[in-house]
């Protein structure tokens, strides 16, 4: 998979699939975009609970507008462009000469969203199953069995460049594409709120448009800062009153229940949402299979899950029945679960500001 020791959420999910011996890291339902909802009041005007820890019942976080707004419609471009590809075999210098047919592939759809946000959407010829924003809806899907690349489908599209991050595979298929003469560029953004800007810079460099990348990076950093500041205005001021949150990854059909802890990316997401990362409190590093002892020790007020993951265990009722330890936590007793579409909650790309906004509303509004 990736060469990182510290795993971002998308790479972590790919590793979970490998460890479980199954081909599917996320459900097929991520191929359908989330329907947009109506206009919303700003977070600063949102009516929130005086005690968000006391809220009960499940909530679904929905992005108000899933569309990707390009930073420019005509990005300045200079080719050939030589970049360092964080490749399977180590760092390699890759020279990109043609970006007329772009195929961005990763487990969360973040690279495709970045390509569109840079203004190169018209050159994208296909998508992975997690690329669900409206502008990409009509593109052919080239991943099957969840996030496995279909090499025949890719080659039939005649891509001039594939941009990926190692979270989709298998590796042999990616090497096959390279051997067939396709330019393959690997990007590698560390997990967290700095990832969207870094991804913008790396992808734009591969496309020979660093100026557009810098503009997009600045816009994303500013938008994320604005949302985080707004969340600080609605979260409880006293840390003791803040919502204790745990990120739980579920795949019922495969019997997979993983807790995401420090340095997984989930910790930074929870902190940005004004919550307390309880996995970090108990010293949970990275991602590991859930244990009853760890879950009870963490005792979260709220459990954050992916929508299709929750569906895979039969919803809240199914999860509580299947895992009695969950029912013993404050979140289980209050049935306090917040779910969000798989390809959105994990994106760490141009949709990150909207993801934070939607999650905050689900966490704090009664």
CATH number for the segment(s) 9-67+231-364: 3.40.50.1980
pLDDT tens by residue, 266-283: 899 999 999 999 988 887
The fold of the 81-219 domain, in CATH, is Rossmann fold (3.40.50)
Start-end of H helices in the chain = 9-20, 110-117, 151-156, 171-179, 195-206, 210-234, 266-272, 278-281, 292-298, 307-312, 315-322, 324-327, 330-334, 342-345, 352-364
**What's residue 37's pLDDT?**
62
For residue 171 the two structure tokens come to 């590796």
Whether the CB-CB separation of 274 and 242 falls below 8 Å is answered with yes
Q: What is the dihedral of CA 123, 129, 130, 131, to 10 degrees?
A: 20
pLDDT band at 254 (very low <50, low <70, confident <90, very high): confident
Query: For 330-361, what is each residue's pLDDT tens digit?
Result: 999 999 999 999 888 878 999 999 999 999 99
Chain-centre distance for alpha carbon 275: 19
Both tokens of 190, joined, read 């560390």
| CB-based contact 183:96 (threshold 8 Å) | yes
Q: pLDDT category, 145, cuts 50, 70, 90?
A: low
Predicted confidence band of residue 97 (pLDDT cuts 50, 70, 90)? very high
Calpha distance 139→156 (Å, rounded)? 13
Helix, strand or coil for residue 169? strand
SS3 82: strand
Q: Mean pLDDT for the chain? A: 87
* Degrees, nearest 5: CA angle 5-89-143: 80
Q: Where in the chain is the domain with CATH 3.40.50.1980?
A: 9-67+231-364, 81-219
Strand order in the sheet with 161-164: 102-105, 161-164, 183-186
Query: Does the pLDDT at position 12 exceed 80?
Result: no
**Per-residue pLDDT, 4:** 40
| Residue pLDDT, tens place only, 30-70 | 434 445 565 689 999 999 999 999 999 999 999 988 789 99
- For 363, residues 6+ apart whose C-beta sits below 8 A from its C-beta are 52, 59, 243, 245, 273, 274, 275, 302, 338
Q: List CB contacts of 225: < 8 A, sequence separation 6 or more.
A: none
Instruction: State pTM to two decimals.
Output: 0.89
What is the number of helices (H) and of strands (E) in the chain?
15, 14
pLDDT(118) > 60? yes
Q: Which two tokens stand for residue 38?
A: 């109506």
Please check the confidence at residue 2 and state whether its pLDDT lies above 50: no
Distance of alpha carbon 309 from alpha carbon 253, whole angstroms: 10
H or E element that contains 96? strand 90-96
Yes or no: say if 130 and 137 are a contact pair by the CB < 8 Å rule. Answer: no
């Amino acid at each position: 998979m990736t060469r990182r020791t510290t795993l971002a959420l998308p790479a972590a999910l790919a590793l979970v699939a490998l460890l479980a011996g199954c081909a599917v890291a996320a459900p097929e339902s991520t191929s359908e975009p989330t329907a947009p909802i109506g206009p919303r009041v700003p977070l600063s005007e949102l009516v929130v609970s005086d005690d968000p820890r006391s809220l009960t019942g499940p909530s679904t976080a929905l992005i108000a507008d899933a569309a990707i707004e390009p930073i420019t419609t005509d990005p300045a471009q200079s080719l050939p462009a030589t970049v360092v590809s964080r490749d399977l075999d180590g760092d390699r210098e890759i020279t990109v000469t043609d970006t007329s047919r772009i195929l961005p592939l990763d487990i969360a759809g973040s690279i495709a969203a970045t390509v569109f946000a840079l203004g190169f959407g018209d050159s994208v010829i296909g998508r992975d199953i997690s690329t669900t924003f409206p502008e990409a809806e009509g593109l052919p899907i080239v991943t099957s069995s969840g996030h496995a690349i279909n090499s025949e489908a890719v080659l039939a599209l005649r891509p001039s460049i594939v941009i990926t991050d190692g979270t989709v595979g298998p590796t042999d298929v990616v090497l096959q594409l390279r051997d067939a003469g396709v330019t393959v560029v690997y990007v590698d953004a560390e997990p967290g709120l700095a990832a969207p800007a870094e991804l913008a810079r790396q992808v734009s460099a591969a496309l020979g448009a660093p100026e557009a990348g810098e503009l997009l990076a600045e816009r994303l950093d500013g938008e994320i800062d604005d949302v985080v500041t707004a969340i600080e205005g609605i979260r409880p001021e006293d840390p003791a009153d803040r919502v204790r949150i745990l990120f739980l990854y579920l795949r019922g059909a495969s019997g997979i229940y993983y807790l995401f802890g420090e340095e997984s990316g989930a910790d930074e997401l929870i902190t940005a949402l004004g919550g307390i990362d309880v996995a970090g409190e108990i010293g949970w590093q990275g991602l590991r299979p859930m244990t009853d002892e760890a879950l009870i020790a963490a005792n979260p007020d709220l459990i954050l899950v992916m929508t299709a993951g929750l569906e895979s265990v039969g919803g809240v009722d199914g999860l509580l029945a299947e895992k009695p330890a969950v029912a013993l936590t404050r979140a289980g007793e209050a049935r306090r679960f917040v779910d969000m579409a798989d390809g959105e909650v994990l994106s760490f790309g141009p949709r990150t500001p909207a993801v934070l906004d939607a999650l905050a509303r689900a966490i704090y509004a009664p």
